[in-house]
């Protein structure tokens, strides 16, 4: 099994449907940006979530929301786009989905994460567990690291 962790932003709202046997399937489209020197590229991932394990989280996920996903990566499928260029279709079957503590406020970022946490707590839903998003702790001062953190 090949296991991967990705962090990116949703390219569309989550899509939920049901198989003919009644099993729930939710699909996320996640964009991950990569930079090599001055060149920036985007890799698109199709993330499949089977069942209802993340149902409490889905109402808070909208197009542009930052997200972290871990799961089994499938063999890429190569296809030709409209311009005749070869493209790869990347797929993950999610085993772990989390709100991302990173991002810009107002674009699905940390400021919005704090609001999501407050709304979730008020409604009894589970919310992001990051101490930085909950307001329970403040980030460490710049330049200061802890034993369990890598300083880069």
pTM beyond 0.75: no
Q: Which residues contact 107 (CB under 8 A, 6 or more apart)?
A: 64
Tally Cβ neighbours within 10 Å of residue 16: 13
Query: What does CATH list as the number for 3-102?
Result: 2.40.50.140
Q: Is 8 exposed, middle or buried (0-12, 13-18, 19+ CB in 10 A)?
A: buried
pLDDT in tens, the chain (152 residues): 799 999 999 999 999 999 999 999 999 999 998 888 999 888 899 999 999 989 999 999 999 999 999 999 999 988 888 899 888 889 999 999 999 887 654 444 444 443 344 334 334 444 444 333 333 334 444 444 444 444 44
List the chain domain ranges: 3-102
Q: Which residues contact 96 (CB under 8 A, 6 or more apart)?
A: 68, 69, 70, 71
Q: Is 103 exposed, middle or buried (0-12, 13-18, 19+ CB in 10 A)?
A: buried
């Amino acid at each position: 099994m090949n296991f991967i962790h990705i962090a990116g932003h949703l390219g569309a709202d989550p899509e939920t449907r049901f198989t003919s046997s009644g099993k729930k399937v939710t699909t996320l489209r996640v964009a991950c940006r990569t930079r090599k020197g001055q060149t920036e590229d985007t890799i698109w991932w199709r993330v499949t979530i089977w069942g209802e394990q993340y149902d409490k989280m889905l109402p808070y996920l909208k197009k542009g929301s930052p997200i972290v996903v871990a799961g089994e990566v499938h063999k890429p499928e190569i296809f030709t786009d409209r311009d005749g260029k070869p493209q790869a279709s990347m797929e993950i079957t999610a085993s772990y989905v989390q709100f991302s503590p990173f991002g810009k406020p107002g674009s699905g970022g940390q400021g919005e994460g704090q609001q999501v946490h407050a709304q979730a707590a008020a409604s009894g839903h589970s919310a992001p567990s990051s101490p930085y998003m909950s307001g329970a702790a403040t980030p460490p001062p710049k330049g200061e690291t802890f034993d369990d953190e890598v300083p880069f």
